[in-house]
Chain A
Amino acid sequence: MKVEREELLHIAKLANLKISEDEIDKYLLNLQDILNFANVVNKAPVEGLKETIGTNSNYNVFRKDQVVEFEDQESLLQNAPEEEGHMFKIPKVIN
């Protein structure tokens, strides 16, 4: 599959990444290279095989509905780039 320039830019947008003009060609080339290689999965003899969901055989791992308060609430905000009123401050968002 050939990756088009617009497609790369669309993907970057979905990922919230900016690719500068002079990087685009390099990214395209890399991506194309890797995807060409990754394509071998489409040659694998997988007919009739189920997808692997969960690396191991664990299932039904649940938690009891019991409140445990996190001991150090303040530390949860200590890394905030900007804080106001114990909330994370961001530019105005119009809903």
Chain B
Amino acid sequence: MTDRFHLDAVPIRLESCGKTFPGGSRALEPLDLTIRGGETIVFLGPSGCGKTTTLRMIAGLESPDPGGRVWFGEEDVTALPIERRNVGMVFQSYALFPNMSVAENVAYGLKVRRVERADRERRVEEMLDLMHLGAFAGRRVDQLSGGQRQRVALARALVVRPRVLLLDEPLTALDAKLRDSLRLDIDRLLRGLGVTAVYVTHDQGEAMALGDRIVVMAKGRVAQIGTPRDIYHRPTDGFVADFIGAMNRVSGQAQSGALRLGRGAFPWSGPDGPVELLIRPEDIALAAEGEEDTHLDGLVAAAVFLGDRTRLVVETGDGPPLTVDAASRSGLARGDRVGLRLDPSRLLNLPQP
């Protein structure tokens, strides 16, 4: 049903876009980035990493420092204020107009564009139906739940057929359950509409689920750009590895072409000396203590039952405790002793943050 709302897929290009605030603090180091037409790109990072500043520069709410350029397709929009960029924007705090009904909110952008009344009403109605908001058209905004409000905000942003859809932490103000269902709605919309979308979040789950590509940011710089799989399985630095998902640190000793890690030894090409390696919880297998092929023995210091699995914290007596996932019905508990088998192909050796 979203087919008839299909939107243009305009690429976006940022050219050495940096941002220094009047106080002199650097919010964003000069950034070059191309967002492909129709792509959903997610800016992910902790607060203060520059992700929102980047989004606001694309929106036209902030200007880049001199020398920076923002391109929508072949058009240089750097000097255009937001109202002349034809974007759609969804805010964390909804930014719905309290003085207007749901339908009036959605119609606002069309009114501004002087869309003729009959056409306007038809488009508003279609959009409200698409967002399952038809029954709320006449409601006041303060009579809606948070999830409904954000759907109105989405409808309002999309009904004007924007060149680019910008979403600034749209799910952050919602509770967990609503967040999941609205995330699915947004996913469905973005795929269906084919619009170029820029999505800002601090939630890695949202980023993984929605992004064609993820831009991980830290301290005003891009830490890594890649598909969700790349980011998760092939992080390029320790910050990205730690920020996305749970990550363990294990230390080994490299010596003449072999890496010793607990009882195990793996082929190793790096120089000799101590090496710190990273490994995801799901890449560590559990076995009985001392069993053949295990690399480390440990004591379960804590076991947190999560329903589908049990997350264990295992003390190995060597370095920080490891996080390991056990099957839901494994029955392992605090005080049990276990053996650990590390998948050598999944060990990561990264520069530290």
Q: Do A and B bind each other?
A: no
Chain B residues with a Cβ under 8 A of chain A: none
